[in-house]
A and B are shown apart, each in its own frame.
Chain A
Amino acid sequence: DAGITQSPRHKVTETGTPVTLRCHQTENHRYMYWYRQDPGHGLRLIHYSYGVKDTDKGEVSDGYSVSRSKTEDFLLTLESATSSQTSVYFCAISESTPYNNQPQHFGDGTRLSIL
């Protein structure tokens, strides 16, 4: 296993509440990613980070923010959750460098339901 822990594993919350999901890695990899997986859409990139305090947007970033204050932790925040953000969220890590592309490895996901 790639040494990735996502928390919580399951969460049910109400529309309009803030939600923060955590991804913790023990591999000291530079890159970390947040994806969501929905039926009919597959996996889509929300945000990613290429170092402490260095982040960039993915394909579906609206309504989400991220923070990375330590190499090992990458947080995904839904400032005001909506029902359309009900999904399974996956964190991934990669030991890519600017000179060496490497594949991504995934955690086991967080199931988020927004009622």
Chain B
Amino acid sequence: QKEVEQDPGPLSVPEGAIVSLNCTYSNSAFQYFMWYRQYSRKGPELLMYTYSSGNKEDGRFTAQVDKSSKYISLFIRDSQPSDSATYLCAMRKGGSEKLVFGKGTKLTVNP
């Protein structure tokens, strides 16, 4: 079983839709959870950084962590064509600098 599983998509939605992106994980020691956005031929850009369970909101983006289910989500409200990118989840254990990444979900938002 992979430590982090992420559906690669591709996912295609109309402009204005609510997008839900998800990752599951197997290691209960993970404590820090991140979402990165990666545009074509660019490096990953940090979107959200959360510690342990709960929700975090930043503008149109909401990150959710459910440690009991080993499941994290990223919601994008009022999606825009500029949100078209690959979204990577990442996580790490407390006290460790080693990130484990999902393989990424490719999202296209159609005008």
What residues of chain A have their CB less than 8 Å away from a CB belonging to chain B? 4, 31, 33, 40-45, 48, 50, 58-59, 90, 94, 96, 101, 103-109
- Is B25 positioned at the interface, with any CB of A under 8 Å from its CB? no
A interface SS class: strand
Do B97 and A108 have beta carbons less than 8 Å apart?
no
Do B98 and A90 have beta carbons less than 8 Å apart?
no
Do A107 and B43 have beta carbons less than 8 Å apart?
yes
- A42-B101, A103-B34 known; 19 new pairs, CB 8 Å cut-off, are A33-B97, A41-B103, A42-B88, A42-B102, A42-B104, A43-B44, A43-B90, A44-B101, A50-B97, A58-B98, A90-B44, A94-B97, A101-B94, A103-B32, A106-B36, A106-B44, A107-B43, A108-B42, A109-B42
Least CB distance from B79 to A in Å reads 23
Do A101 and B43 have beta carbons less than 8 Å apart?
no
Least CB distance from B98 to A in Å reads 6
B interface SS class: loop
Do A109 and B98 have beta carbons less than 8 Å apart?
no
Known contacts being A42-B103, A58-B98, A94-B97, is A101 close to B88, with CB within 8 Å?
no
- Is B99 positioned at the interface, with any CB of A under 8 Å from its CB? yes
- Is B57 positioned at the interface, with any CB of A under 8 Å from its CB? no
Question: Would you list which residues of chain B between 83 and 103 have a CB under 8 Å from chain A?
Answer: 88, 90, 92, 94-95, 97-99, 101-103
Do B97 and A90 have beta carbons less than 8 Å apart?
no
Chain B residues lying within 8 Å of A104, measured Cβ to Cβ, are 46, 99
Chain B residues lying within 8 Å of A42, measured Cβ to Cβ, are 88, 101-104
Chain B residues lying within 8 Å of A50, measured Cβ to Cβ, are 97
Instruction: Please report the C-alpha to C-alpha distance between residue A40 and residue B103 in the assembled complex, in whole angstroms.
Output: 7
- Is B66 positioned at the interface, with any CB of A under 8 Å from its CB? no
